[in-house]
């Protein structure tokens, strides 16, 4: 007989319904990457088939992306889930895999993945078969409940036994979800537009693409299959169960050297004539011993003694993959050969990424090198560690992990570049082709003059020399610099401007030098706590565009204090996150003289970013009293 299940009921014995709902909301909002929608069910399936005892044959995972029906299904041939356990596994923070995680058997262990799938979407279905039972669970309208602030009563799941038939003919589990306008992503066709892209995304953003070393403990081989449906046509392809490194699947004629192996096999020797200047890129996987030799006595802010650095390496069995090329077009050729759409850079662009227990994280960032230069956008670094939490990096990694990255990334990148020099082909001088949309500078100036800066004359202050309204971020920086020089914004003093660092600038707040005209029209307060009198500043043409940087984790919301823009734009939602802007009402609300708006991020907690819209500021200064 069918019966209702109440996954969240077990949490309400000592907690209010409102608290339970907020916990579910927090789980869902912690997923920022569009790939999480496939990463979670794949992770559960891979963990099951690789680590479960007593299963015969290969571990099999079959992924179905149906872009016509907007559904995702992930099927495994594991042990299935006993019906007595299913309700608690759908609730947040209930898991049974922590011991296996610490032993390197599984990658997921936090007990929130099924919660995300059941309540992050409006259709969730789980069919499972054990040695003793075969049933199906459906839970619908979970996301609608999450989005309805007036409804604290969660939807009820429905469990029904299958007496004959079903999709499973042996033990295992099938999880199916359907995307909708309320979910992120909304459209499977846009999130995974081609079979080739979906294949690479599965390898490079989910547990199906195992990163080794360190060796992942597994009890059987893994076999992954992708079934891709689009416009009533179905294509089925095998997916290699390993991470797709940037030295793999290259175009004909591109030569890459495994530098680490060469150095081990050719100690104290020079490359042969055929090897000199013969390669487009070199890569090296440094093992723990090589890392220790490279790091020496270097320490950081969290790992403050050499012994602590060595202990970190040993505890987490750290290996670092690095690839370097002189070629400016290497990454573009990589993307072309992997058939990655031009706007999907994360799968093939140079970056620093982290894998924990064999699973690549959704977290990544630009490489940070003191000297910057071309090394940054021609270097790939992938750190592989064991036993690091959180294992997916959705809320970032612990401080000691970031400290280790800072200690080592420049050392690794520089050593690879130095050792690669004899082998790498020198890139020929590039003659840049005319880019689409290129406009002769004189013509561009003529067009831009149609949007004259207004207002330009600031009563009692002077005239702005920038002739046209900002149409790019650099225009905003130029205008801001001029307003500082005129004295309008002299109290927000830039310590530096940078086109290379993660953040554009850093301001010091000196309220005593703010002009009276600004204090009258956009007053702040003078007695700001000394700890609040400085902070990171970002520049954007429109303030709302900063959300893209936050969602892609190029910027960290809590790091930013000031945001300078020309116009605000609009409240915006992307990547499962939302940014809102409110106009300041008074000096206390504004805090800093000249601030026009406050920006808040849905998942940013209490942190507020103070926005200076230069167009609003100029209108306020020149408005008649």
Give 398-432 pLDDT, tens digit per residue.
Answer: 889 999 999 999 999 999 999 999 999 986 655 55
Q: What is the distance in angstroms between the CA of the first residue and the CA of the last residue of the chain?
A: 75
Cβ atoms of 337 and 249 closer than 8 Å: yes
Its pTM stands at 0.67
Burial letters 299-331, b for 16+ CB under 10 A, else e: bbebbeeeebbeebbeebbbbbbbbbbbbeebb
Cβ atoms of 537 and 592 closer than 8 Å: no
Cβ atoms of 591 and 575 closer than 8 Å: no
Distance CA 72, CA 522 (A): 51
> What tokens does 555 get?
């910027």
Among 280-284, 366-370, 489-493, the minimum mean pLDDT is found in: 366-370
pLDDT at res. 54:
86
pLDDT tens-digit series, residues 496-537: 887 655 788 999 999 999 999 999 999 999 988 888 899 999
Tell me the three state secondary structure of residue 618.
helix
- Residue 457: what are its φ and ψ, rounded to 5°? -90, 120
Q: Is the pLDDT of residue 434 over 80?
A: no
Distance CA 260, CA 225 (A): 32
- The mean pLDDT of the chain is 87
Burial letters 543-560, b for 16+ CB under 10 A, else e: bbebbebbbbbebebeeb
Q: Higher pLDDT residue, 370 or 78? A: 78
Strands 123-129 and 134-140: antiparallel
Give domain 3-239's CATH architecture. 2-Layer Sandwich (3.30)
Given the structure tokens 């890392």, which residue do they identify? 291
**Which of 612-615's residues contact partners 24+ apart within 8 Å by CB, and which partners?**
612/489, 612/492, 612/562, 612/563, 612/564, 612/565, 613/543, 613/565, 613/566, 613/567, 613/568, 614/470, 614/476, 614/479, 614/480, 614/483, 614/564, 614/565, 614/566, 615/469, 615/566, 615/567
Cβ atoms of 413 and 286 closer than 8 Å: no
- Residue 229: what are its φ and ψ, rounded to 5°? -115, 130
Residue 223, C-beta contacts closer than 8 angstroms, at least 6 positions apart: 58, 59, 60, 61, 238, 241
pLDDT-based confidence at residue 325 (cuts at 50, 70, 90): very high
Distance CA 418, CA 428 (A): 20
Distance CA 5, CA 471 (A): 55
Closest among 304, 614, 338 to 484, alpha carbons compared: 614
Distance CA 245, CA 347 (A): 10
Q: What is the mean pLDDT of residues 141-167?
A: 88
pLDDT-based confidence at residue 393 (cuts at 50, 70, 90): very low
Residue limits of CATH 3.30.565.10 in the chain: 3-239
Q: Is the pLDDT of residue 338 over 90?
A: yes
pLDDT tens-digit series, residues 451-496: 999 999 998 899 999 999 999 999 999 999 999 999 999 999 999 8
pLDDT tens-digit series, residues 241-259: 999 999 999 999 999 999 9
């Amino acid at each position: 007989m069918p019966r209702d299940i109440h996954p969240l009921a077990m949490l309400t014995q000592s907690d209010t319904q409102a608290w339970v709902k907020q916990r579910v909301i927090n789980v869902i909002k912690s997923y920022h990457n569009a790939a999480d929608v496939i990463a979670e069910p794949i992770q559960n399936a891979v963990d099951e088939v690789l680590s479960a005892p007593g299963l015969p044959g290969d571990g099999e995972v079959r992924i179905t992306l149906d872009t016509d029906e907007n559904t995702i299904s992930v099927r495994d041939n594991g042990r299935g889930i006993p019906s007595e356990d299913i309700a608690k596994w759908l609730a947040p923070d209930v898991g049974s895999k922590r011991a296996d995680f610490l032993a390197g058997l599984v990658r997921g262990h936090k007990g929130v993945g099924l919660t995300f799938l059941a309540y992050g979407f409006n259709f969730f279905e789980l069919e499972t078969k054990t040695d003793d039972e075969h049933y199906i669970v459906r839970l619908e309208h979970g996301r609608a409940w999450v989005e309805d602030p007036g409804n604290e009563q969660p939807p009820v799941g429905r469990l029904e036994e299958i007496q004959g038939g079903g999709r499973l003919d042996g033990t295992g589990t099938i999880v199916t979800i359907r995307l909708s306008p309320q979910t992120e992503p909304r459209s499977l066709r846009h999130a995974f537009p081609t079979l080739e892209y979906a294949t690479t995304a599965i390898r490079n953003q989910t547990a199906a693409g195992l990163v080794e070393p360190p060796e992942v403990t597994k009890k059987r081989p893994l076999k992954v299959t992708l079934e891709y449906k689009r416009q009533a046509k179905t294509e089925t392809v095998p997916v290699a169960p390993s991470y797709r490194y940037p030295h793999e699947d290259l175009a004909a004629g591109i030569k890459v050297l495994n530098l680490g192996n060469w150095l081990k096999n050719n100690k104290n020797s020079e490359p042969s004539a055929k090897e000199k200047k013969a390669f487009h890129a070199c890569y090296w996987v440094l093992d723990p011993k090589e890392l220790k030799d490279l790091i020496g006595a270097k320490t950081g802010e969290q790992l403050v003694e050499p012994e602590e650095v060595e202990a970190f390496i040993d505890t987490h069995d750290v290996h670092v993959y690095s690839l370097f090329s002189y070629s400016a077009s290497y990454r573009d050729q990589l993307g072309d050969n992997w058939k990655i759409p031009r706007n999907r850079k994360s799968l093939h662009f140079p970056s620093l990424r982290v894998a924990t227990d064999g699973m690549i994280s959704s977290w990544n960032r630009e490489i940070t090198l003191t000297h910057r230069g071309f090394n940054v956008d021609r270097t790939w670094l992938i750190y592989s560690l064991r036993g690091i939490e959180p294992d997916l990096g959705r809320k970032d990694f612990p401080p000691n992990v970031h400290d280790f990255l800072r200690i080592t990334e420049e050392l690794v990148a520089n050593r690879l570049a130095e050792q690669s020099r004899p082998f790498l082909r020198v890139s020929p001088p590039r003659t840049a082709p005319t880019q689409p949309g290129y406009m002769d500078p004189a013509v561009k100036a003529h067009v831009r003059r149609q949007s004259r800066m207004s207002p330009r004359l600031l009563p009692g202050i002077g005239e702005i020399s920038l002739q046209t309204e900002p149409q790019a971020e650099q225009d905003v920086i130029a205008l801001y610099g001029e307003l500082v020089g005129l004295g309008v914004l002299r109290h927000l003093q830039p310590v530096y401007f940078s086109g290379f660092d993660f953040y554009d600038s850093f301001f010091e707040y000196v309220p005593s030098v703010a002009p009276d005209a600004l204090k009258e029209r956009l007053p702040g307060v003078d007695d700001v706590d000394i700890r609040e009198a400085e902070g990171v500043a970002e520049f954007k043409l429109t303030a709302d565009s900063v959300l893209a940087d936050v969602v892609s984790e190029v910027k960290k919301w809590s790091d930013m204090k000031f945001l300078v823009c020309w116009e605000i734009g609009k409240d915006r939602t992307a990547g499962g996150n939302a940014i809102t802007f409110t106009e300041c009402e008074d000096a206390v609300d504004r805090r800093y003289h000249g601030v026009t708006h406050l920006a808040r991020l849905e998942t940013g907690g209490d942190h507020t970013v103070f926005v200076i819209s230069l167009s609003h500021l100029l209108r306020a200064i020149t408005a008649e009293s």
